C-alpha cells in the first residue's frame, strides 16, 4: 500500500516503529495532510498570519517530539488539535506576560513613590494571598484559567471562548459565574 493511502494512525505506528531514526516519509505525509488544517486553527486562535505560521512550526515540532505520547485512544487529528490548542494558548499567555513585564519600553513611566502605609500594603498582600489560595483550592482548572484570562489579562469573554475552545452555550461567562459563586461561599464561610 502506498504511503499516501495509509491512515494517520498507521503512519504514526510506522514512524514509532522506526525508533530514533523516525520514518521521515511518514512524518512528511502527516505534515502534508494536516499543515493547512493546523494553520487554520492557529489563525483562528491568534488572528495574525505571521504568528500563525510560527505556531504551525512549533506545533509540528512538538507533535514529532512527543509522537510516542499518542495513545491511539482517539483519532490522530483529535490529538493534533489538542496539541495545537495547548501550544497556542501557552504561547499567548507567555506573550502577554512578556509584554506586561517588559521594562525596556521607554513609554513606561517611572514608578511613583508609594505613600500607602505599610500596614495597608500588608493587608492588601494578605488578601491577595488568600485569594490565590482560595482559587487554587476551590476552583477547577478551567474556572481558574478563565478568571485569570478575563480579569488579569483583560481578554473579552468571546476571545476566551475562542482561545480555550469553549463551545457550551454560555461559554466562559458560565465559568466566571460558577467561580465567583464558589469563591463567595468560601469567603463567607471564612468570615464566620
Task: From 184, 164, 23, 182, select the one nearest 84 (Cα to Cα).
Answer: 164
Q: What percent of the chain has pLDDT over 70?
A: 84
The mean pLDDT value for 57-66 works out to 91
Say what angle helices 171-191 and 118-138 make with each other, to 10 degrees: 120
Q: What is the pLDDT of residue 178?
A: 92
Question: Of 12-16, 62-66, 91-95, 180-184, which range is least confident?
Answer: 91-95
The mean pLDDT value for 179-183 works out to 91
pLDDT tens figures, 130-170: 888 888 888 888 888 888 888 877 778 888 888 888 888 88
pTM score: 0.51
**pLDDT band at residue 188, thresholds of 50, 70 and 90?**
confident
Phi, psi of 105, rounded to the nearest 5 degrees = -70, 125
**pLDDT band at residue 7, thresholds of 50, 70 and 90?**
very high
Q: What percent of the chain has pLDDT over 90?
A: 21
Grid coordinates standing for 149? 484570562
**pLDDT band at residue 90, thresholds of 50, 70 and 90?**
confident
The mean pLDDT value for 115-128 works out to 78
Give 73's DSSP letter.
Answer: S
Residue 38: partners with Cβ closer than 8 Å, 6 or more residues away = 56, 59, 60, 80, 84
The mean pLDDT value for 110-135 works out to 75
pLDDT tens figures, 27-40: 899 999 999 999 98
What domains can you pick out in the chain, each with its CATH number?
3-101 (1.10.1740.10), 132-191 (1.10.10.10)
Amino acid at each position: 500500500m502506498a504511503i499516501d493511502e495509509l491512515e494517520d494512525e498507521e503512519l504514526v505506528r510506522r514512524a514509532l516503529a522506526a525508533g530514533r531514526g523516525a520514518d521521515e516519509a511518514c512524518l512528511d505525509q502527516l505534515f502534508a495532510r494536516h499543515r493547512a488544517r493546523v494553520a487554520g486553527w492557529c489563525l483562528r486562535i491568534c488572528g495574525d498570519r505571521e504568528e500563525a505560521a510560527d505556531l504551525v512550526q512549533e506545533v509540528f515540532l512538538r507533535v514529532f517530539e512527543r509522537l510516542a505520547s499518542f495513545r491511539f485512544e482517539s483519532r490522530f487529528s483529535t490529538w493534533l488539535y489538542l496539541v495545537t490548542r495547548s501550544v497556542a494558548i501557552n504561547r499567548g499567555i507567555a506573550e502577554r506576560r512578556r509584554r506586561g513585564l517588559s521594562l525596556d519600553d521607554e513609554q513606561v513611566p517611572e514608578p511613583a513613590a508609594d505613600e500607602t502605609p505599610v500596614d495597608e500594603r500588608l493587608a492588601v498582600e494578605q488578601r491577595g494571598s488568600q485569594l490565590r489560595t482560595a482559587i487554587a483550592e476551590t476552583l477547577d482548572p478551567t474556572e481558574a484559567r478563565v478568571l485569570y484570562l478575563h480579569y488579569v489579562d483583560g481578554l473579552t469573554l468571546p476571545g476566551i471562548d475562542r482561545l480555550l475552545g469553549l463551545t457550551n452555550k454560555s461559554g466562559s461567562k458560565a465559568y466566571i459565574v460558577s467561580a465567583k459563586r464558589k469563591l463567595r461561599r468560601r469567603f463567607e464561610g471564612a468570615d464566620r
